[in-house]
Amino acid sequence: MINALIDCDPGLDDAVALLAAFGARAIDVKAITTVAGNVKGPQTAENARIVREVAGLDASTPVCAGAPRPLLRDPVTAEDFHGSTGLGDIPFPSPKHALSETHAVNMIIETCKAAIGDPLTLIVTGPMTNVAFALTMAPEIADGIHEVVLMGGADREGGNITPFAEFNVFADPHAAAAVFGSGLPIRCLSLDVTHGVRATPQRLDLLRVVESAQAQVAAQFLEASCKLEFSAKGDRDAPLHDPSTVIAVTRPDLFTGRRARVEVVTEPGKQFGRTIPHFDEDGPVLWYEQADSDGVFDELARLLGEYG
């Protein structure tokens, strides 16, 4: 069993990642922490609670709200790609189960400290503000982290929010610099790999035939992503960004990459938020570059079929 904490900013693709993780019998999700990113902080916290209930879970899996803004830069959001609610404006009832009273940063610290001796996997699918705060406040929590599996950054693919920068890093590059520079073992799902894993109509059909209500909702989320991606960029098949982190946890064999040390540009200018991997066999970051895209969607369907 893989013990995990998921730090996220739901967001359509974060929502699919959460549904996959909640369904995965190989993953025990200890907590969900949320951060401002795709939409503002209060909305990401509400969206995580909505997805928790779609998954059939209650407050025993805590959802904790975290940083409402980046460390230093002005806040930036991405409603063009996620809709005004962050969940593609798909109607959902208000969540019944309450938000935890524990702040996300404190939850990360407490959960990682409790995991010393049996370290957990930290899955990060949004700006890295909460994680940077936690590592700064309590650097000893590194002993409770087996690895960080994150979605963020870009190199050969260029950016998706500027010509150079990927959104999660651009939204808080100072936090990303702290996390990449922490020395923790990191597996990075950048745009270099996620842009090659697309939600084609055939792959969405693969999810629609899965016999779980959660798979049907995940398909709805991805359909909304495709529509918004087309409206914003003219691409009909949305990339599978955040769910790729969960697939990398359950099926790392589907991804290949190279070791690197990752630099983040934090100086103002046109390259602000750019990630620059310096490839080095001793680097702490495994920078993924390729994926078996059909295999990734097969695994996503399998995880969504593990409900019940």
Domain count, the chain: 1
Q: What pLDDT score was predicted for residue 231?
A: 57
- pLDDT, mean of residues 240-264: 98
Mean predicted lDDT score pLDDT of the chain: 95
DSSP 3-state assignment of 147?
strand
pLDDT at 233: 64
Domain extent, residue 15, equals 2-304
Residue 192 reports pLDDT greater than 80: yes
What CATH number should be reported for the domain holding residue 246?
3.90.245.10
pTM for the whole structure: 0.96
Residues of the chain with pLDDT > 90: what percent? 91
pLDDT digits (tens, 9 = 90+) for 91-134: 999 999 999 999 999 999 999 999 999 999 999 999 999 999 99
Whether 127 contacts 161, CB under 8 Å: no
The residue that leads in pLDDT, 181 or 225, is 181
What would the DSSP string read from start to end of 262-279? EEE--SSSTTTT-EEEEE
Per-residue confidence (pLDDT) for residue 235, from 0 to 100 = 65
The answer to whether residue 57 scores a pLDDT higher than 90 is yes
Q: Could you list the active site residues?
A: 241
